[in-house]
């Protein structure tokens, strides 16, 4: 009886081994033949999902933008040469009062010196623009290496001060764009940004002079240039305090410049 039991055990073990081996073969065959009409009951193997294709990165156009993102009857308020510890907070207060978003074109070292203001600009929902390191209005007569250093070093300073927010535009000092500077900016995620209305507020023509320029030149296009840095800007602040509600009364909305 004991020998018979041992024999049965040996048979059982042999059968089990055969089953395991067969299962392995069947699994291999099923994996190879899956999807080619295997019979009913054949082991099914889940097909892996195809890898998702990466979303192609949109290229920044090289053209100098003036148009609004929103379209329609709207203007782009742009503020240059800051941030300034005296005037930038006053401009921000006015923009908040009238629920207006603007684009701040900052000088790199100014941004680095006043990171709390850059962060305040970003936190309020405004956008950042690179206005170079030295505000050299003769950049269009300088080497490509010089232009690159002025643009990219400023971008790094502004984004560093912003705590990670991206600079989305580049405005050449005095409008001194070149094909190379536009390519450099666009390759680093910044749309070249122009203007249609220069308020000449940096010349301090008087509050009414700034207001008159905006009203007279609105037909030129939607992008208006003001300054919060580079000097005493009380006239700019006072003019904005009158122009923002007036523009709303005339049915204008407020937008950002197009990026794409």
User: Which residues neighbour 24 within 8 Å (Cβ) at sequence distance 6 or greater?
Assistant: none
The Cα–Cα gap between 76 and 69 comes to 9
**Residues paired with residue 177 on neighbouring β-strands, in sequence order:** none
| DSSP symbol at 190 | -
CATH top-level class of 74-255: alpha beta
State the Cα–Cα distance between residues 68 and 134, nearest whole angstrom. 28
- For the chain, the structural domain boundaries read 1-33, 74-255
Asked if 73 contacts 223 with a C-beta cutoff of 8 angstroms, the reply is: no
Are the C-beta atoms of residues 240 and 207 closer than 8 Å to each other?
no
Per-residue model confidence as pLDDT tens digits over 220-253: 999 999 999 999 999 999 999 999 999 999 999 9
Please say whether the beta carbons of 223 and 257 come within 8 A: yes
Both tokens of residue 46? 């889940």
What are the tens digits of pLDDT across the range 135-159? 999 999 999 999 999 999 999 999 9
d(CA 60, CA 66): 14
Given a contact cutoff of 8 angstroms between Cβ atoms, the answer to whether 191 and 61 are in contact is yes
Residue at token pair 């921000």:
92
**Three-state SS for 183?**
helix
Considering only CA atoms, which of 204, 214, 201 is closest in space to residue 242? 214
- Residue 91 to residue 63: CA distance in whole angstroms: 29
Model confidence band, residue 36 (pLDDT cutoffs 50, 70, 90): very low
Contact 176, 137 (CB under 8 A): yes
Query: Is residue 130 flagged as an active site residue?
Result: no
Q: Assign 3-class secondary structure to 228-241.
A: CCCCCCHHHHHHHH
Q: What is the pLDDT of residues 172-228, one digit of tens each?
A: 999 999 999 999 999 999 999 999 999 999 999 999 999 999 999 999 999 999 999
Catalytic residue among 80, 84, 130, 228: 80
Catalytic residue list contains 80: yes
Q: From start to end of 48-124, where are the E strands?
A: 74-82, 103-106
Average pLDDT over residues 117-135: 98
Please answer whether residues 162 and 122 qualify as being in contact, where contact means their C-beta atoms are separated by less than 8 angstroms: yes
Q: Which of the residues 114, 126, 135, 227 is marked catalytic?
A: 227
pLDDT tops 80 at residue 171 = yes
Whole-prediction pTM value? 0.79
Residue 26 has pLDDT above 80, yes or no: no
């Amino acid at each position: 009886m004991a020998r018979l039991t041992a024999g049965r055990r040996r048979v059982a073990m042999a059968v089990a081994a055969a089953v395991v081996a067969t299962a392995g073969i069947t699994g291999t065959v099923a994996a190879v033949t899956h999807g080619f009409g295997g019979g009913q009951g054949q082991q099914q193997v889940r097909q892996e999902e195809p890898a998702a294709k990466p979303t192609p990165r949109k290229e920044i156009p090289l053209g100098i933008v003036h148009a609004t993102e929103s379209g329609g009857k709207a203007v782009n308020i742009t503020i240059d040469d800051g941030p300034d510890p005296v005037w930038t907070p006053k401009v921000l207060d006015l923009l908040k009062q009238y629920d207006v978003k603007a684009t701040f074109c900052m000088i790199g070292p100014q941004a680095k010196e006043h990171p709390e203001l850059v962060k305040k600009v970003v936190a309020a929902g405004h956008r950042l623009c690179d206005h170079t390191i030295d505000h050299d209005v003769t950049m269009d007569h300088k080497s490509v290496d010089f232009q690159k250093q002025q643009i990219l070093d400023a971008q790094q300073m502004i984004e560093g001060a912003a705590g990670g927010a991206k600079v989305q535009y580049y405005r050449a000092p005095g409008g001194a764009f070149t094909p190379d500077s536009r390519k450099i900016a666009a390759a680093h995620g910044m749309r070249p940004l122009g203007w249609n209305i220069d308020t000449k507020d940096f010349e301090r023509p008087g509050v009414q002079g700034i207001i008159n320029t905006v009203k007279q030149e609105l037909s030129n296009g939607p992008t208006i240039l003001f300054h919060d840095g580079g000097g005493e800007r009380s006239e700019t602040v006072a003019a904005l305090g009158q122009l923002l509600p007036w523009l709303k009364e005339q049915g204008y909305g407020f937008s950002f410049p197009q990026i794409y």
